Amino acid sequence: MESAQSCVLSLKRILLAVAAVVFLMIFWTWVSSPMIVTFTGTGSVNVPATSATVGFSLLSTDASPQGAIVAVTQKAKSVREMIKAGGVSEEDILESQVTSAPAQTGGYQALISMGAKTVHVTGVPDLIGKLYAAGAGVVNQPVLSVENRADLEAKAVDEAMKDAKKQTSLFALKNLKFVRKIVAVSQQTSGSTSTATSRADVITESTSQEAAANGVFKIVKAVSVSYKMW
């Protein structure tokens, strides 16, 4: 009788040991093979533009190349003085070398490309009108810029990380998972997430009165974040 009971106890111990080993194997597999999930978060920062750069070209024609060069040089000098009178400093005015070539309609033409950077962003439309009135052939779309760009880009990345974390938390809650840690982070470089500039047509929650007046410099960043999850 005692021998039978001893055999039963031994069998129970063996079964418990096997069950423990199986449990440990399953647990180890679960721990060592986490789910890897990746979420893409986006963040943006809208701030008033602090400066605008306007590029334009000046063209003159004459019967001789020397006459065309003199004419366009005089035109550039006049435009430069006009720009300076509008509050643009000398060092913020760029001017290319004169190029001369035969004109399709006969004679010769001379071309100078120029650019002006102004902090008076609200006065850019008036400046463009004056440039055309002064004889500018083509005035390019103004390019807005902002100070402390690196800090603003870092802020946009931080907002993108928060967005990715929020998505991860919602996924974990929905699927009864536990988030362990971040294993990889990469920034997107597609056209849809690169830095962009735009004008503010209306005032929204993300644009101040000053931003709407000066034009909005918008920085958009996206990050892909991979998490280990059990």
C-alpha neighbours within 13 Å on the C-beta side of residue 51 = 16
Of residues 17 and 74, the one with the higher pLDDT is 74
In the three-class reduction of DSSP (H, G, I as helix; E, B as strand; rest coil), residue 205 is classed as coil
Least confident of 19-28, 32-41, 103-112, 211-220: 19-28
From first CA to last CA, the distance across the chain in angstroms is 49
Phi (first) and psi of residue 110, to 5 degrees: -125, 140
pLDDT(197) > 80 = no
Distance CA 30, CA 21 (A): 14
Helix axes 124-133, 65-85, angle to 10 degrees: 150
pLDDT(163) > 70 = yes
Of residues 189 and 76, the one with the higher pLDDT is 76
Question: Residue 148: which pLDDT band, with cuts at 50, 70 and 90?
Answer: confident
Tell me what pLDDT residue 46 has: 84
pTM: 0.61
- SS3 for 96-108 is CCCEEEECCCCCE
Task: Sketch out the chain's domains with CATH numbers.
Answer: 33-48+148-229 (3.30.110.170), 51-145 (3.30.70.2970)
- How much of the chain, in percent, has pLDDT values that exceed 90? 46
Average pLDDT over residues 23-45: 73
pLDDT(36) > 70 = yes
CB atoms within 10 A of CB 48: 19
pLDDT(97) > 50 = yes
Tell me what pLDDT residue 147 has: 84
Burial of 156 (0-12, 13-18, 19+ CB in 10 A): buried
Average pLDDT over residues 162-174: 92
pLDDT(172) > 70 = yes
Q: Where are the alpha helices (DSSP H) in the chain?
A: 2-32, 65-85, 124-133, 149-174, 209-214
Q: Show Cβ contacts of residue 212 under 8 Å, excluding neighbours closer than 6 positions.
A: 200, 202, 203
